[in-house]
Structure 1
Amino acid sequence: PRHLEIMAFESPPDARALKYVTSAAGLLTAARDLFLAILDAFRRRALHRDISVNNILVTNNQLLMVDWEIGRLFQEPSFAAEQGTVTGTLDTMSVGSLANWDPLPHDDLESAIYVLLKVLTKTFVPAVGQQSEWAVTLERYCWDDP
């Protein structure tokens, strides 16, 4: 088959986007769970292909990867690459995805790293005396607000 079958469900009412996790322990737990979820998808030969800050939800100490509409099994050819279409969330896409190469399992891992960096740079509070240096760094790398 050329499509990826998934189960549709309603997100739990207490689910929140990863960017709203405010504690270091919560973020570390979510990061671990994100990599485990990607590994589980890899074992099932599935790629998400749109890992972004808003597609990772946290609820009741569980992590949910949502919005699988452009996901695919990774042994399939990439029809998007043939058509010259780039799909996904641009600021967290892997280099290979941006170059329109066929999707590979490590692309989701690369996107996860970008998501975690984005969350860290958006929520991290610098030590007293380092606020101006941190502001310059954030301006230089300037993540877009979702």
Structure 2
Amino acid sequence: MSEKIQVSFMVDSEVWREAKNKLGTTRSEFLEEQLRLAIDLSEDEENSLRKEIAELQNEINARESRLCKIRAERLEHERSVNVFDGVMGTVNRIVDNAGFIGKDQLKNISKQQEVPYKSLLDHVYDLGYDVRNYGLVIK
């Protein structure tokens, strides 16, 4: 803040006394604020518009971030679904023939198709298939 100077001006004595009783601040602070309002009237509107633009820009940034997150989640979901498309043909055939699938079979399929075993196992559980520890039976 800049240096303050002392000035004198003429005011009706009654008004000065009433101002002393009714103002919540000192009269000097009140007069300074009134002078600021009179001088900075156009800047006040400009500052309020700048603040409003900044707030709206922050809101836009937050929503864009949320949009990017949603898009990334959707892309990840689409990739995971596409990965399992080729694998699930084999899994479905085994389940149709045997009525269940073994974890050992899922491990073999995941190695052959280069799919993460844990993800494949979770996907098969999500589909409600009967999963047992061993599916390959040596005859």
What's the TM-score, normalizing by structure 2?
0.21
The structure with the largest strand share of the pair is: 1
The structure with the largest helix share of the pair is: 2
Q: Tell which structure's C-alpha radius of gyration is larger.
A: 2
Q: Which has the higher contact order (CA 8 A, sep 6+)?
A: 1
What's the TM-score, normalizing by structure 1?
0.21
